[in-house]
């Protein structure tokens, strides 16, 4: 593996990499969010209550592997469209994609988050396999991906807005790694906590992550209590009253 103290290739100027190392979460944060299971709904409720914008639905960011739930720090990438015509860049083999620089910087458990280009693949099978080899939890991509069967075969889950066979190699330019990005109106910074499951994706600012985890843990415990009460067979109107009572406790 290439050393992490310098760029892996010459495809992106080192000055475009904002941080060589992303902020790391406090000990126990990732494990705490993982313990919640498929918690995007609980975390979404908490973000609402705390006034934090950070939720994207799975109807837009569709998971490639059903039933997967990932939690990890965001390692961000920003792509734009190359100026040159793709047939010329293909003929001259001009590839300005550089998400491999992100793979090179990633630590086990990181989530690659790409502010990408629509209609063009921002990640393919080789990239996904590299991410899996690096120990990444998966990727969230605003834009298209391809080689879905390949990424599934190596068990690398991706949440993306589009799927296409059209390669980004000759069409996309990576302009920044580990800077702030925009994911469908949600600002994501390097190190923010990513929670993704079948229902959607939540981005939790790292500065608020401990606060969100505490509230989400309480809410998840109350929901478990509600489910146990429902299983006892109590009347529906009693379930409604129980929900109201526990809501006041929060």
Each residue's pLDDT, cut to its tens digit, for the chain (250 residues) gives 344 545 554 455 666 777 777 789 999 999 999 999 999 999 999 999 999 999 999 999 999 999 999 999 999 999 999 988 988 899 989 889 999 999 999 999 999 999 999 999 999 999 999 999 999 999 999 999 999 999 999 999 999 999 999 999 999 999 999 999 999 999 999 999 999 999 999 999 999 999 999 999 999 888 878 877 787 777 777 777 666 555 545 5
Q: Is 146 annotated as a binding residue?
A: yes
Query: Interior CA angle at 151 toward 32 and 169, to 5°?
Result: 115
pTM above 0.75, yes or no: yes
Helix ranges (DSSP H) in the chain: 29-35, 40-50, 86-91, 99-105, 125-133, 148-153, 209-231, 236-249
Q: Is 147 annotated as a binding residue?
A: yes
Measured CA to CA, the distance from residue 188 to residue 181 in angstroms comes to 5
């Amino acid at each position: 593996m290439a050393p992490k103290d310098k760029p892996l290739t010459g495809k992106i100027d080192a000055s475009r990499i904002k941080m060589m190392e992303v902020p790391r979460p406090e000990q126990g944060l990732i494990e705490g969010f993982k313990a919640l299971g498929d918690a995007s709904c609980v975390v979404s409720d908490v973000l609402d209550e705390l006034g934090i914008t950070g939720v994207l639905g799975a109807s837009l960011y569709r998971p490639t592997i059903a039933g997967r739930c990932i939690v990890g720090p965001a390692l961000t990438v920003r792509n734009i469209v190359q100026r040159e015509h793709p047939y010329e860049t293909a003929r001259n083999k001009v590839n300005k994609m550089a998400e491999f620089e992100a793979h090179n910087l990633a630590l086990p458990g990181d989530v690659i988050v790409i502010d990408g280009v629509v209609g063009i693949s921002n990640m393919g099978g080789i990239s996904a396999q590299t991410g899996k080899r690096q120990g990444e939890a998966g990727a969230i991509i605003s834009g298209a991906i391809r080689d879905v069967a390949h990424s599934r075969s190596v068990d690398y889950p991706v949440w993306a807005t589009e799927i296409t066979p059209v390669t980004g190699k000759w069409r996309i330019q990576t302009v920044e790694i580990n800077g702030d990005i925009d994911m469908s109106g949600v600002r994501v910074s390097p190190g923010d906590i990513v929670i993704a499951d079948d229902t959607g994706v939540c981005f939790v600012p790292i500065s608020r992550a401990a606060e969100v985890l505490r509230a989400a843990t309480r809410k998840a415990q109350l929901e478990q209590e509600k489910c146990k009460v429902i299983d006892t067979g109590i009347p529906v109107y009693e379930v409604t009253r129980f929900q109201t009572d526990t809501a006041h406790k929060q």
